[in-house]
Structure 1
Amino acid sequence: MFRSFFPMPKIFFGSAVVWAAVCVLIWYALGSQLQALISLDPVLTPDAGEDAAPFLTNQKVWLYQFITMATYGFCLPWFFIDRNKWFWWSVVGTATIVLVLFAQVQVSAWLNDWYGSFYNQIQQALAEPGSVSIEKFYGDLIPVAYILLPNIAVAVLIAFFTGHYIFRWRTAMNFYYMEYWQDVRTVEGASQRVQEDTMRFASSVEDLGADFVGSLMTLAVFLPILWTLSQQVAELPVLGEVSGSLVWVAIVSAAFGTVLLAAVGFKLPGLEFNNQKVEAAYRKELVYGEDSAEYAEPKKVADLFGDVRKNYFRLYFHYMYFNVARYLYLQGANFFPLIALGPSIAKGVITFGVLQQVFNAFGRVENSFQYLANSWTQIIRLISVYQRLRKFEKEIPR
């Protein structure tokens, strides 16, 4: 699954984690010294002041340059180490997707800051009629257009790029498996493995991987923001004053949801795996029946379809109580920040702008911590696909 597309997968992904940790250490230990030596901010932002914030300050330009250098710097050794024909897609393409995710998180952080000042302005306009001019109101909307329109263009382009990325991965797996077709063709549902599961696996791993990396980046950016905003929260219900209160509420909420859904959904991966197994047997009988009258007899087809129906009904039953727990939790989680902010709202110690910032930052942090809870259904399907492909790959000669 991975060997066909990535060079030395275990070493590749393991070294990526190590490289990320090393880059973080370099940033905090030597970032200032390196900025003075190689940063492009004097060239790109010679007159940058407060009006250029938050994207074109000297520190931001250096951060973007460092992240870009670190990301593509990781790709360079793999050009010489076990490079295959998919290098530009598997290595450089993955690095590009990571950089775009970082850029999107930066835009989200800027929007969170903008919401705070803009909604405070709305509060002022409503409380003091005539204090905010219409020119000022509409003028503050213009920067959003400057930021979001290019961001939309980037989102469209990365979606187009990701589609090709997934199909290249599927192509790599397809050709890899077909090299060993004579060894694996007798495996149950072999044609389905090559034709369908390769695409499902590539798309699922890319989606979940991108969401996971995005969640980590979101936490890195929004956790400090939410911790700072927590200083303006007077107290929590029952618990009273807690340092970093909103961060702890988000962590407890996400941990509870993850444990809950893992507990109620532990049977689903096996059922998904078995579902594809009975579907493959039914499909195989029908395909054989197209060429020979000995196959697809009514009784045998009825028996095979009975297995399909039985497994689907079991699957529907288990998904029913799983979805009850899932939707109850996700809907209830929407009210956690309101409950946490109740005492502060009642005492009037926060402004409307701060309230919007808290909601946005809390939602970002909580969704990142809820990665497993939000992705559990897709993870279940990926596990079933992985199990089928692993069974398939066991027949490939070592």
Structure 2
Amino acid sequence: MTTGHWDRETVKGLCRLTSEYWKSGEKKSAFLYLFGIIILTIAAVYMTLLLNDWFNEFYSALQNYDKEAVYHGLVRFTALAFGHIAFSVYAYYLQQTLALRWRRWMTEEYLSRWTSHQMFYRMEMFSGGRSDNPDQRISEDINLFTTRTLSFMSGLLRAVTTIFCFIFVLWTLSEPLSFTLGGTTFHVYGYLVWTALAYSVIGTWITHKVGHRLVGLNFVQQKLEADFRYAMVRLRETSESVAFYHGAPEERRILGGRFQKLVANTVYIIRKQKQLSWLTNSYGQIAIIFPFVVAAPRYLSKSISLGGLMQVANCFGKVQESMSYFVDVYSDLAEWMSCVERLLTFDEHMKDLRKETEKEEGRLHREEGRELALSHVDVGLPNGKRLLSSISCTIHEGEKVILKGPSGSGKSTLLRVLSGLWPFAEGTLVLPERKEVLFIPQRPYMPMGTLEEAALYPGREGSRADLEYWMRECGLSQWISHLPEEGDWGHVLSLGEQQKLAFVRIFMTKPRWVFLDEATSAMDEETENRLYSLLVRMPGITVVSVGHRSTLDKYHTRTLQVREGTVL
């Protein structure tokens, strides 16, 4: 897909992106809303057609100084204007409601795909920068896509309906234009229609030539805006680490560099929009006087009255305005096209990554059993390099095993294979049921919400009394009174306290198998000893730890060494 140029595949992708909602379980209500929008839009255009007839009657009454007809015209105008306003308002209301329902459906669909099969993790680990800022694509791009798509559809419907209604009136109002060329007299019927068409086509073509680069510039702008915002969010999340390094000047340089790129692209957009504004404003201003110039000869020759002139001018303006629809919305259309490309890129990346992951996962045969068994398992890297070769070992239920080895030897990657996060492996793997297994990373995840929800994550089962008991046992007594409070606990709690809370999760969840990856690295030895003592005494639990400390050895009955690309 090339930015700024739409090929056949992009158009197919847009059709698929648009049609999915209209084939979903909400299609009946969606089509009812759409039908209501169509009816109200056509009704609003019909009111405009009646107002066009009113122009002739009212201005003719003014020309004839007909007081009664003037007052009657004002009353009629009030009724027609109110009808036009009412139809337009409710059409807009239904359009916005439908856009919200469409956005809600698309957001739920994309969130489901993004969070299923650990896609959010794999996109960050293995994307290679192909899909940047998925959060922006789901939150902003979907909103822009649904709102603008319905807005363009509604505007196009209004334009087409207006052309259909007014073009016949304009044709009727157009007397044949006669001129002599080379001794031959030519008659052009409906010359006002052809004039409006020519004016609109020329204006649309020039607008496209001037503004087509806005699609690519808007595509880049959305990426730069998201990158700049993400860099600031990342600084906020890692504020303590940056402060310890006194890295504020470097962070300022990085943020400033990203912002300068954003500003430079914005300058290009402003310049291009300036050119487009010159064109569209000039086009619009000329359109005001153009119908009078075209129709004035007939009025000056007294072929039509003042009311007829105003009716011709208004009718010509409506036809020309409708034919020039894309001139008026070109800037918004360019932004919408860049949004469509971003959504299609995101969509294609998730599909490709899913296929690639399924292909890689197919090389590792997984079975469920009462023990953990690896048979000739090879673990690789995304670039194809082999990290671990021909691993064959068995861990029986109830064992306490520690996995050791140099940093970077593949210990944590092996745990990722066991958890199903790392697809680059092959061989045979027997694992207990997923519901019986709990993995504890070195830095536990702390969700937003109450401290109680963070302690029970990812489930919410367990009594308050049990939770408070294990909070005390794990050295978190001072936080018991804060359990109902909401906060960003990843920043409020120290890493050591977060690791203690991870042990609370173990004791509350009571898994049969627990895998710990440097899960006590931020604790003092006394706390580590107390928590491991509680852990290994849990009835029927199997413990597999990754660690470097020799103080952990006494809590494990068996040691596996990762050495020279294999496990011994």
Normalised TM-score (structure 2): 0.52
Question: Helix, strand or coil for the counterpart of 1:350?
Answer: coil
Aligned residue pairs total 317
Tell me, yes or no, if structure 1 residue 91 matches structure 2 residue 31.
yes
Question: Helix, strand or coil for the counterpart of 2:329?
Answer: helix
1:191-270 correspondence runs (5 A):
191-231=135-175, 242-270=188-216
Relative distance call for 1:341 and 1:148 in structure 2 (3 A) is: closer
How far did 1:2 drift? 6.8
**C-alpha distance in 1, partners of 2:310/2:348?**
53
Tell me, yes or no, if structure 1 residue 271 matches structure 2 residue 213.
no
Output the amino acid matched with 2:97.
H
Paired residues of 1:225 and 1:361 also in contact (CA < 8 A): yes
Relative distance call for 1:206 and 1:236 in structure 2 (3 A) is: farther
**C-alpha distance in 2, partners of 1:351/1:135?**
19
Could you tell me which residue of structure 2 aligns to residue 180 of structure 1? 113
Question: Helix, strand or coil for the counterpart of 1:383?
Answer: helix
Relative distance call for 1:350 and 1:237 in structure 2 (3 A) is: farther
1:12-161 correspondence runs (5 A):
84-125=24-65, 132=66, 134-161=67-94
Question: Helix, strand or coil for the counterpart of 2:87?
Answer: helix
How far did 1:348 drift? 2.1
Could you tell me which residue of structure 1 aligns to residue 322 of structure 2? 368
Deviates more, 1:157-166 or 1:380-389: 157-166
Relative distance call for 1:140 and 1:267 in structure 2 (3 A) is: closer
Paired residues of 1:226 and 1:361 also in contact (CA < 8 A): yes
How far did 1:259 drift? 0.5
Structure 1 unmatched ranges of 5 or more: 10-81, 126-131
How far did 1:234 drift? 6.3
Relative distance call for 1:143 and 1:207 in structure 2 (3 A) is: same
Paired residues of 1:89 and 1:165 also in contact (CA < 8 A): no
Tell me, yes or no, if structure 1 residue 338 matches structure 2 residue 330.
no
**C-alpha distance in 2, partners of 1:194/1:372?**
27
Paired residues of 1:166 and 1:202 also in contact (CA < 8 A): yes
How far did 1:103 drift? 0.7
**C-alpha distance in 2, partners of 1:381/1:237?**
48
Relative distance call for 1:287 and 1:393 in structure 2 (3 A) is: same
**C-alpha distance in 1, partners of 2:205/2:155?**
19
How far did 1:223 drift? 0.5
Output the amino acid matched with 2:138.
V
Cα deviation, 1:113-160, whole Å, max 9, x if unaligned, reads 1221221111111xxxxxx2x444313332333333244233333322
Relative distance call for 1:8 and 1:388 in structure 2 (3 A) is: closer
How far did 1:291 drift? 0.9
Could you tell me which residue of structure 1 aligns to residue 230 of structure 2? 284
Paired residues of 1:170 and 1:198 also in contact (CA < 8 A): yes
Q: Which is greater in Rg?
A: 2
Question: Helix, strand or coil for the counterpart of 1:396?
Answer: helix
**C-alpha distance in 2, partners of 1:236/1:256?**
23
**2:98 aligned to 165, 176, 180, which one?**
165
Tell me, yes or no, if structure 1 residue 391 matches structure 2 residue 335.
no
Tell me, yes or no, if structure 1 residue 378 matches structure 2 residue 345.
no
Could you tell me which residue of structure 2 aligns to residue 57 of structure 1? none
**C-alpha distance in 2, partners of 1:136/1:5?**
51
Cα deviation, 1:226-282, whole Å, max 9, x if unaligned, reads 000002x76699998521010011001001100101011121110111011111111
**C-alpha distance in 2, partners of 1:229/1:216?**
20
Matched-pair identity in %: 25
Question: Helix, strand or coil for the counterpart of 1:311?
Answer: helix
Cα deviation, 1:311-342, whole Å, max 9, x if unaligned, reads 11121122222222222222222222122123
Q: Which structure has greater helix proportion?
A: 1
**C-alpha distance in 1, partners of 2:109/2:169?**
46
**C-alpha distance in 2, partners of 1:343/1:206?**
42
Could you tell me which residue of structure 2 aligns to residue 41 of structure 1? none
1:297-376 correspondence runs (5 A):
297-376=251-330
Structure 2 unmatched ranges of 5 or more: 1-13, 125-130, 243-247, 356-568
RMSD: 2.5
**C-alpha distance in 1, partners of 2:187/2:286?**
23
**C-alpha distance in 2, partners of 1:141/1:244?**
31
Output the amino acid matched with 2:54.
W
**C-alpha distance in 1, partners of 2:291/2:34?**
35
**C-alpha distance in 2, partners of 1:8/1:166?**
11
Q: Which structure has greater strand proportion?
A: 2
Paired residues of 2:44 and 2:83 also in contact (CA < 8 A): no
**C-alpha distance in 2, partners of 1:260/1:5?**
29
Normalised TM-score (structure 1): 0.74
How far did 1:6 drift? 4.5
**C-alpha distance in 1, partners of 2:111/2:298?**
63
**C-alpha distance in 2, partners of 1:173/1:154?**
28
**C-alpha distance in 2, partners of 1:322/1:343?**
33
Output the amino acid matched with 1:381.
E
Relative distance call for 1:262 and 1:228 in structure 2 (3 A) is: same
Could you tell me which residue of structure 1 aligns to residue 474 of structure 2? none
Relative distance call for 1:275 and 1:237 in structure 2 (3 A) is: farther
**C-alpha distance in 2, partners of 1:313/1:7?**
37
Quick one: higher RCO (CA 8 Å, sep 6+), 1 or 2?
A: 1
